[in-house]
């Protein structure tokens, strides 16, 4: 393996992170793969794995970039306003994808600390217009509605396929 300087390594990592974020925002989490990244950069999967040992490590490329894009859809004036804005935002493809990823990350045996941190930042933002208890209750309702939203999307696709 050829030696690369720390500066070169950092530049490669930044290029990988930028590409991962681009894929995430345009195609979603599922589209981010070792093969996709290595093909784009004309390198090997093992080279990419030096930067991201596990697939979940691709999430590091998203740190600090996703939260600002999500919260612009939400109202923090009250519990009801938050829930209503969340439900409306579920029709936005990017917002819906992020919520789906949040739910999936929450279901793994050890939830990622960054996922937990994002939820805590959301509660903090919500406390501008409500108590901590109201914020937590609002998130519980919003996530429940999100699960049903995604279930209904799946049911709709199945129904459409059966009609063909």
CATH number of the domain within which 44 lies: 1.10.10
| Helix (H), strand (E) at residue 98 | helix 93-106
Verify that 38 and 82 share a domain, yes or no. Answer: no
pTM of this prediction? 0.76
Residues 53 and 36 in one domain: yes
The number of folded domains in the chain is 2
Residues 58 and 41 in one domain: yes
* Digitized pLDDT (tens) for each residue of the chain, 164 residues in all: 568 899 999 999 999 999 999 999 999 888 999 999 999 999 999 999 999 998 888 988 998 899 899 999 999 999 999 999 999 999 998 999 899 888 887 787 776 777 778 888 899 999 988 999 999 999 999 999 999 998 887 655 555 555 55
* 107 and 80 within one domain: yes
User: What is the rounded distance in angstroms from the CA atom of residue 15 to the CA atom of residue 149?
Assistant: 35
| Together in a domain, 131 and 96 | yes
Residues 47 and 81 in one domain: no
Give the integer Cα–Cα distance in Å for 1 and 31: 28
């Amino acid at each position: 393996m050829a030696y690369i300087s720390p500066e070169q390594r950092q530049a490669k990592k930044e290029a990988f992170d930028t590409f991962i974020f681009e894929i995430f925002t345009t195609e979603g989490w599922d589209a981010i793969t070792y093969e996709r990244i290595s093909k784009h950069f004309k390198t090997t999967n093992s080279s990419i794995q030096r930067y991201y040992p596990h697939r979940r490590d691709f999430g590091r490329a998203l740190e600090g970039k996703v939260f600002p894009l999500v919260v612009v859809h939400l109202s923090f004036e009250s519990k009801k306003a938050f829930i209503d804005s969340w439900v409306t935002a579920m029709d936005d493809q990017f917002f819906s994808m992020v919520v789906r990823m949040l739910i999936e990350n929450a279901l793994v045996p050890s939830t990622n600390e960054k996922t937990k941190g994002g939820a805590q930042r959301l509660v903090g933002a919500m406390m501008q217009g409500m108590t901590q208890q109201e914020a937590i209750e609002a998130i519980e309702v919003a996530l429940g509605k999100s699960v049903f939203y995604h279930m209904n999307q799946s049911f709709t696709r199945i129904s459409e396929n059966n009609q063909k």
